[in-house]
Structure 1
Amino acid sequence: MSLRSLALLTLCVVLTACSKVNQENYSRLKAGMNKAEVEQLLGKPTECSGALGMSSCTWGDEKAFISVQYAADKVLMYSGQGLK
């Protein structure tokens, strides 16, 4: 295995281990938090969509994710799946 491949593999393992999409961070979410507070906790979302003052953002992938729904940039409700 080349040094470059080993470095890439190590980086992937470290990034996976440091995922902010976990049960601990999910338990810190609260209704009424603003988007900036949520992004400080979870980082930049994987995807967002919305219209008319409502939006929904998701962090993670199909195996483990946190989804947050906002009304006027305040957390209305949230859910998670596959969190460890």
Structure 2
Amino acid sequence: MSLRSLALLSLCVFLTACNKINQENYSHLKAGMAKVDVEKLLGKPTDCSGALGISSCTWGDKDTFISIQFAGDNVLMYSGQGLK
């Protein structure tokens, strides 16, 4: 195996291991959890929207994601799809 191929393979493994959108992190979510604590666990959300104190944020992409609804700055409910 060439050095270049080995470097590319190592990078892919590293990036996969760093993905915070996974079943283990999902299992740490709890209703009432502060948004700041969610962002420490999952990082900054991919997308957020909301109004009147209710917001919905998503981490990930269309195939693998965690979606969380917040009331104020606390988790109201959450769901996930494609988590490993």
TM-score, reference length from structure 1: 0.85
Q: Percent identity?
A: 75
Structure-2 change in CA distance of 1:36 and 1:62 (3 Å): same
1:35-54 correspondence to structure 2 within 5 Å: 35-54=35-54
What secondary structure is seen at the aligned counterpart in 2 of 1:31? coil
- Identify unmatched segments of 5+ residues in structure 2: none
Amino acid of the structure 2 residue aligned with 1:50: G
Aligned to 2:58: 58
Kindly report the root-mean-square deviation, in angstroms, between the aligned alpha carbons of the 2 structures.
1.9
Runs in 1 of length 4+ with deviation above 3 angstroms? 6-13
Find the aligned partners of 1:83 and 1:33 in 2 and give their Cα distance: 20
- Identify unmatched segments of 5+ residues in structure 1: none
Aligned to 1:24: 24
Count of aligned residue pairs for this structure pair = 83
